[in-house]
């Protein structure tokens, strides 16, 4: 019984990443917006909160810190802090005035995802992620809120990247 429990990885049950059509989901929460299928910001914020908690958990389990940013998991009100100590909100109400800060937060979060991916590939040289992350884009799509279809697809790619990181951490630690 103890051996079976030692092999059990709770992260796989706590963070269920999947999809609902064009949306990536984490624990059943959709991440993104489409004109034909509007998603309330409260659901998007909750999904981002789960993604932040997952990435922070991955970093903690692997014993590393992000090179330039720090995650602050707070559920629907999660944040990311840049290397200068400025905090950015990883949640929104959809208002135009807050969009710039939210977009910066999304870019910083993606940098953390990229950091974790580099760490994983360093430890597991055969590991190759399905989407390239560079300069605020994943799979060539901007992680910043703009075109709803592109943003939703970029978020789905980001969740796929997190799912791969979850598999890596489950196998490795």
Mean pLDDT of 120-147: 95
Question: What pLDDT sits at residue 158?
Answer: 99
Identify the band that residue 13 occupies on the pLDDT scale cut at 50, 70 and 90.
confident
User: How is residue 144 written in tokens?
Assistant: 């910043």
Choice between 7 and 134, residue whose per-residue pLDDT is larger: 134
- Is residue 98 situated within a structural domain? yes
- Is residue 161 situated within a structural domain? yes
- Gap between the Cα atoms of 130 and 42, Å rounded: 29
The length of the chain is 173
- Is residue 2 situated within a structural domain? no
Identify the band that residue 12 occupies on the pLDDT scale cut at 50, 70 and 90.
confident
Mean pLDDT of 95-110: 90
Average pLDDT, the chain: 93
Would the pLDDT of 2 be above 60? Answer: no
- Is residue 109 situated within a structural domain? yes
Identify the band that residue 4 occupies on the pLDDT scale cut at 50, 70 and 90.
low
- Is residue 1 situated within a structural domain? no
Q: What is the pLDDT of residues 31-40, one digit of tens each?
A: 999 999 999 9
Would the pLDDT of 96 be above 80? Answer: no
Rg of the chain over Cα atoms, rounded to whole angstroms, equals 16
Identify the band that residue 5 occupies on the pLDDT scale cut at 50, 70 and 90.
very low
Question: What pLDDT sits at residue 115?
Answer: 97
Structural domains of the chain, count: 1
Question: What pLDDT sits at residue 94?
Answer: 83
Distance between terminal CA atoms of the chain?
20
| CATH code of the domain in which 47 resides | 1.10.418.40
- Is residue 42 situated within a structural domain? yes
Measured torsion, CA atoms of residues 59, 52, 72, 10, in degrees rounded to the nearest 10:
-60
Alpha-carbon 4 to chain mean position: 30
- Is residue 119 situated within a structural domain? yes
Q: Which residues span the domain enclosing 17?
A: 8-172
- Is residue 3 situated within a structural domain? no
Identify the band that residue 7 occupies on the pLDDT scale cut at 50, 70 and 90.
low
- In which region does residue 153 sit, left (phi positive, over 0), alpha (psi from -120 to 50) or beta (all else)? alpha
Question: What pLDDT sits at residue 99?
Answer: 83
């Amino acid at each position: 019984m103890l051996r079976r429990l030692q092999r059990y990885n709770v992260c796989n049950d706590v963070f269920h990443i999947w999809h609902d059509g064009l949306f990536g989901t984490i624990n059943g929460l959709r991440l993104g917006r489409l004109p034909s299928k509007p998603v309330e910001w409260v659901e998007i914020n909750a999904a981002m909160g789960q993604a932040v908690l997952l990435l922070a958990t991955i970093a903690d389990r692997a014993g590393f810190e992000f090179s330039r940013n720090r995650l602050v998991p707070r559920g629907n009100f999660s944040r990311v802090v840049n290397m200068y100590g400025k905090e950015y909100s990883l949640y929104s109400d959809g208002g135009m005035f807050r969009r710039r800060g939210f977009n910066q937060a999304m870019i910083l979060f993606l940098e953390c995802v990229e950091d974790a991916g580099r760490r994983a590939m360093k430890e597991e040289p055969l590991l190759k992620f399905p989407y390239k992350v560079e300069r605020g884009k994943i799979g060539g799509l901007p992680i910043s809120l703009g075109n709803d279809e592109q943003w939703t697809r970029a978020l789905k790619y980001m969740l796929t990247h997190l799912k791969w990181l979850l598999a890596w951490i489950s196998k490795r630690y």
